[in-house]
Amino acid sequence: MRLLLTWLINAAALMALPYLMHSVSVSNVGTALIAALVLGLVNTLIRPVLVLLTLPVTLLSMGLFILVINAVLFWLVSHWVEGFEVAGFWSAFLAAILYSVISWALSTLLLNKDGNP
């Protein structure tokens, strides 16, 4: 149940992004659900490998390079999912940060400390 609610929270965060940034567009709720699912899979499967491969750069930048990795993955997902569009890298950079903040805020409001709704 928690996984489903987290997926819906992430889709809601994606639906909120176009209202905050004009360079991001999500065509409909179905697209947001698919994009949230693909983002979750990419963050689960590809992101750890990229973080490991770029560990020296991440350490030299004191962890800030992870924001670049997040932006690249966010931009990559926008190329894979039709109806979910991001204008460019810097738009993806800011959108990935806003997406994380919105998802965190919604999760904090809707989920208890033990992770149950």
- Would you state the pLDDT for residue 1? 82
pTM greater than 0.75 (yes/no): yes
96: left (phi over 0), alpha (psi -120 to 50) or beta: alpha
In angstroms, rounded to a whole number, what is the distance separating the alpha carbons of residues 44 and 42? 5
The whole domain housing 80 covers 31-109
Is 14 a member of any domain? no
Q: In which band, very low, low, confident or very high, does the pLDDT at 116 lie, cut at 50, 70 and 90?
A: low
Q: In which band, very low, low, confident or very high, does the pLDDT at 112 lie, cut at 50, 70 and 90?
A: confident
Is 42 a member of any domain? yes
Is 12 a member of any domain? no
Is 9 a member of any domain? no
Q: Which of 16-25, 50-59, 106-115 has the lowest mean pLDDT?
A: 106-115
The total domain count for the chain is 1
Is the pLDDT score of 67 beyond 90? yes
The Cα diameter of the chain in Å comes to 40
Q: Which of 11-20, 29-38, 83-92, 107-116 has the lowest mean pLDDT?
A: 107-116
